[in-house]
Structure 1
């Protein structure tokens, strides 16, 4: 399979060892957003949902009741093992199927999917290839939703700026800056996701945005950091207690009643396969 010349390639296994933290400390998508997504896409109740680069199923599980078949696909076996365990322990989730595969290498029948969702991960995939495959997998009139949310260190508040600076310091100290490929963000700016989807043959995507207030404890933020690819448990290793102490020392002055509050932005870009599209 030929790689696009402008692909930014992320290392494999970047999330190894993060699944437990990912499941516990990544924020859930708000019900208002998922209800809106369902209203706009109109699942039949008999179709298939495909959650690509699914993590531990932050989209697959809350959307599962609207589909007869759910495929939760991730390249990292830690994530798909967590999906299997959660499906076995969750009522009404026997139809959630975990598949360990690269999104670009997945085999699926043409026209067999009603809705494809990708949460906070499209930028990590070979976007042109995945968009082309998605168009083929979807039935006529099917939808692809790129879902995302902001990170707690990315906002304008004083504690968020301190948090971002601390993360940069620790990435440099641990030699972890290269875990995010250089040029990844620039690629998305010069070739936006919506352009990639249009190039593949989707109708122009519409963005739908939502906000929710969230109150973090410092321990929860430490757990959230361990869910990332750049300061995962394997990266922090035996310096994890030192990192936690530094995090607490830097952020405690900003906490009110033990919490740090932010307004989280959630959104999804919804692309539609033309009814007359081939495949």
Structure 2
């Protein structure tokens, strides 16, 4: 990540409704694997940091007495709250705040989870603060997943795969060749070096588990459009006045690839890394 990159509130601006629609859901087998690894029994509290629209929070909440999802983006919290109401998830509450502002009087937790979010944070600071919030026998769980696109391949599927390379080219034509992220650019990508940071913060481990993918998912044009707008590198606000034209070009490209507007992908494997305080 560029040394001068700083988080700002536009990182996922306008993307929350698209995130909830475009991203593939986490499979129930992920919850089963975490339950088994951590011997979860319905007791304790869960904290999901960078919860987005609640995708992981709502999947894991039934395994705890209560759960809290926090996210810096107000619209993500609105989406998460709406989804919780739709699924009658009554043991989850939501807070709009940055991870760097924890503990924020939230108390202690049995498990803290991150999914596709830790790389956006001041990792060393967040790791230190969350270690103090974890029960001594608790766990930090980092879910490494790619839910916006499936595995590449040439094997036959029910429908064509989305033309991701051409979609990337189209985005670059509008936004430039260097990845966008909020008001800044990410010429070298997001942060790495998690293991060193975790050890410096006093965590031990990690243990690792893998959740198999390879499930076939069918998706429509609207789903793929939402995928693109769910990404920090192509959130709707980045296109400014060009947004309608870009969306028209994107939909045209998709219909050129699949004349019935349907696409298929194989889901990717999910890696879960568990650290102990």
TM-score, L = length of structure 2: 0.83
1:120-155: per-residue Cα shift (whole Å, max 9, x none)? 111001111111122211112211111132242884
Change (3 A) 1:227 1:113: same
Q: 133, 136, 158: which one pairs with 2:132?
A: 136
The 5-angstrom pairing of residues 100-249 of structure 1 reads 100-107=96-103, 112-150=108-146, 151-152=148-149, 155=152, 159-172=163-176, 177=180, 179=182, 181-182=185-186, 185=189, 187-188=191-192, 191=193, 193-209=194-210, 210-211=212-213, 212-249=215-252
1:144-192: per-residue Cα shift (whole Å, max 9, x none)? 111132242884678222222222222229x97353643553641xx2x
**Deviation (angstroms), 1:99:** 0.7
Rounded to whole Å, the distance in 2 between the matches of 1:230 and 1:43 is: 36
Query: Deviation above 6 Å: which 4+ runs of structure 1?
Result: none
The 5-angstrom pairing of residues 36-115 of structure 1 reads 36-91=33-88, 93-107=89-103, 112-115=108-111
- Counterpart of 2:261 in structure 1 is 258
Rounded to whole Å, the distance in 1 between the matches of 2:164 and 2:217 is: 13
**Deviation (angstroms), 1:237:** 4.1
C-alpha root-mean-square deviation of aligned residues, in Å?
Answer: 2.9
- Counterpart of 1:26 in structure 2 is 23
1:238-266: per-residue Cα shift (whole Å, max 9, x none)? 43332223223333343375323222324
Note if contact 1:8-1:184 (Cα within 8 Å) is conserved in structure 2: no
Partner SS, residue 265 of structure 1: coil
Change (3 A) 1:178 1:233: closer
- Counterpart of 1:13 in structure 2 is 10
Structure 2, unmatched stretches of 5+, are: 155-160
Rounded to whole Å, the distance in 2 between the matches of 1:187 and 1:121 is: 11
Between the two proteins, the alignment pairs up a number of residues equal to 265
